[in-house]
Amino acid sequence: ENAPLVLLEALSLGTNILVNDRGGMRETVEDAGVGWRVNMLDSSAVEQALRSIEAARQAGTLNSFKRPKMLEQRSAERWVPHLLAHYRGEHVPD
């Protein structure tokens, strides 16, 4: 899956994510400003990412971020009215 919902769920719970550096997964990490992107076909890049994650864990900084603004922008309170208006055929400004 190119943009799995589990990424947003993990971020909303304060868990960093390690994703393949492609499509929606890349965009999720970029939008959130937290997590790691790596080409999963490059074993040395995966190893380096895992070492970075372990270093953050040992330093006590892993999963120590504030809820990303991008999650607030995707909250049900904000998104559902926008989606319903779209289905009604109304123009909804960004």
- Which of 2-16, 26-40, 66-80 is the least confident region? 66-80
What residue has token string 């120590």? 64
Instruction: Tell me: pLDDT of 19 over 90.
Output: yes
Smallest Cα–Cα separation from 37: which of 47, 25, 52, 51? 25
Q: What is the pLDDT of residues 27-71, one digit of tens each?
A: 999 888 889 999 999 999 999 999 999 999 999 999 888 877 777
| Long-range contacts, 25-34 (Cβ 8 Å, 24+) | 27/3, 28/3, 31/68, 31/70, 32/68, 32/70, 32/71, 33/68, 33/70, 34/65, 34/68
